[in-house]
Homo-oligomer: A and B are copies of this chain.
Amino acid sequence: MKKHDQDFMKRQNRLTVFQIIKNEQPISRAAIAKQTGMSPTTVSRIVSELTEEGYVHETEEQASAGRGRKSSLIRLLDTAVISIGVELDRHQANIGFIDVQGNVLCSGNFPRSSGDTPEATVARIADIIEELILECDIDRRRIVGIGVGLPGIIDVEAGIVNFSVQLGWKNVQLAERLKELTGLQAVVDNELKVKALAEQLKGSAYGSNRTVLLGFGNGVGSALILEGEIYRGVTNSAGEIGHTTVDPEGMMCDCGKAGCLQTYINIPSLLSEASKIKPVRTIEELFAERRAGTRWACYLIDRALAYMAITINNVVSMYNPDSVILSGEILDKFPEVYEEITNLCYTQYIWEPLQDSFTIVRSKLHEHGVIIGSGLVAQDRYFQLN
């Protein structure tokens, strides 16, 4: 094996052992060796390293398999590692401190407007981080990095936002700027991709091998998690379903094409269509009109829900996942639509041969999904580099 590959393997093994301890603690060295196929010597070496560095500790506990024999088990120190997860959206930024278990220790947010520059946003993030550290008494030495999730096409390796229609940004070296201002390693990723990872690691798709997360909110998107890894595609754009064409004779989309999926279901499109009849400023107002039985509001939302069911059919036909997670502002604010969409799926829109091949679940982490996911990605990056 080449030197380069050896180093990579070492880091990868370290991360694997760490993640097994994280997910299955308390656990014995022998059980780790059995699960990973690593030699007992390798496992012991890694556990010793992690102990010295203060990430894990050893306890004298009853091993479940042994008959009364005491065996030493490994446990994680939950706050041994803390990362910062940041969600950047069109109108708001959410910031949270995430422990090794993906718990949110402390969080804050600030409003954004679509004209906000990257500089202003990064400066504001740095300020809020400082405020939260003081407010929640976070141990600074434990913070290993920042992860940012945002809507758009991201070059993860370079830490660059290639472009984000929703933030109005293009070619922004976000990771570098964040590092300059905070002194912390930063990683940037697509919001739905990290959210999907969070749901698969500790949310509604825990244990799934092929899960797809759908996000219905200001944008429309999807993310596929394949055996614990984000499926990225060649330019990290896999899952950008917002601009798949669902009706070539349909409405114009801001991308310059007609009949893109997002024109039927994202919040700005719904509000813009509704406002042709009456000024409707928020998605809450539109749902209130529907609840009041207003004809055009019922039509618009019914059509949106039908297209959401169609989206599920199309995504399932292409990715053939074992589960589909519904998430996003519309699902978070109006949980009743979950059942409506599911009914539409099974009564009308899912191709019959695939009806039993997957389950439809709701996001468990809701509005915390992106900060948890991006925080966990920052921790993974840290363990891979160190």
Residue numbers of A with Cβ under 8 A of B are 1-2, 5, 34, 37-39, 153, 162-163, 209-210, 222, 232-241, 243-248, 255-257, 260, 306-307, 310, 313-315, 317-322, 348-349, 351-354, 357-358
The answer on a CB contact under 8 Å between A255 and B2 is no
A321 CB contacts on chain B under 8 angstroms: 233-234
State which of B241, B257, B317 has its C-beta within 8 Å of the C-beta of A348.
B257
The answer on a CB contact under 8 Å between A235 and B306 is no
A357 CB contacts on chain B under 8 angstroms: 234-235, 237
The answer on a CB contact under 8 Å between B245 and A314 is yes
For the complex, what is the distance from the CA of A307 to the CA of B314, rounded to whole Å? 15
A5: nearest residue on chain B (CB-CB)? B37
State which of B256, B260, B317 has its C-beta within 8 Å of the C-beta of A244.
B317
The answer on a CB contact under 8 Å between A320 and B246 is no
A353: nearest residue on chain B (CB-CB)? B153
A163: nearest residue on chain B (CB-CB)? B353
A221: nearest residue on chain B (CB-CB)? B317
A247 CB contacts on chain B under 8 angstroms: 246-247
For the complex, what is the distance from the CA of A354 to the CA of B245, rounded to whole Å? 14
Known: A319-B238, A320-B235. A244 touches B353 (CB 8 A): no
A348 CB contacts on chain B under 8 angstroms: 257
Q: List 10 A-B contacts (CB under 8 A).
A: A1-B39, A162-B353, A234-B358, A235-B357, A241-B318, A246-B246, A248-B306, A248-B307, A260-B351, A314-B314
The answer on a CB contact under 8 Å between B236 and A320 is yes
For the complex, what is the distance from the CA of A243 to the CA of B349, rounded to whole Å? 10
Closest 5 CB pairs of A and B: A233-B320, A238-B320, A243-B351, A244-B314, A1-B37
Most chain B beta-carbon contacts within 10 A, residue among A243, A306, A358: A243
For the complex, what is the distance from the CA of A216 to the CA of B126, rounded to whole Å? 53
State which of B241, B246, B317 has its C-beta within 8 Å of the C-beta of A237.
B317
A319 CB contacts on chain B under 8 angstroms: 233, 238, 318
A310 CB contacts on chain B under 8 angstroms: 245, 248
The answer on a CB contact under 8 Å between A233 and B210 is yes
Most chain B beta-carbon contacts within 10 A, residue among A234, A248, A348: A234
A1: nearest residue on chain B (CB-CB)? B37
State which of B153, B210, B233, B306 has its C-beta within 8 Å of the C-beta of A234.
B210
The answer on a CB contact under 8 Å between A240 and B163 is no
The answer on a CB contact under 8 Å between B238 and A351 is no
A358: nearest residue on chain B (CB-CB)? B234
Most chain B beta-carbon contacts within 10 A, residue among A34, A236, A241, A310: A310
A163 CB contacts on chain B under 8 angstroms: 353
A39 CB contacts on chain B under 8 angstroms: 1
Known: A314-B244, A315-B318. A354 touches B255 (CB 8 A): no
A43 to chain B, nearest CB (A): 12
A322 CB contacts on chain B under 8 angstroms: 234
The answer on a CB contact under 8 Å between A238 and B153 is no
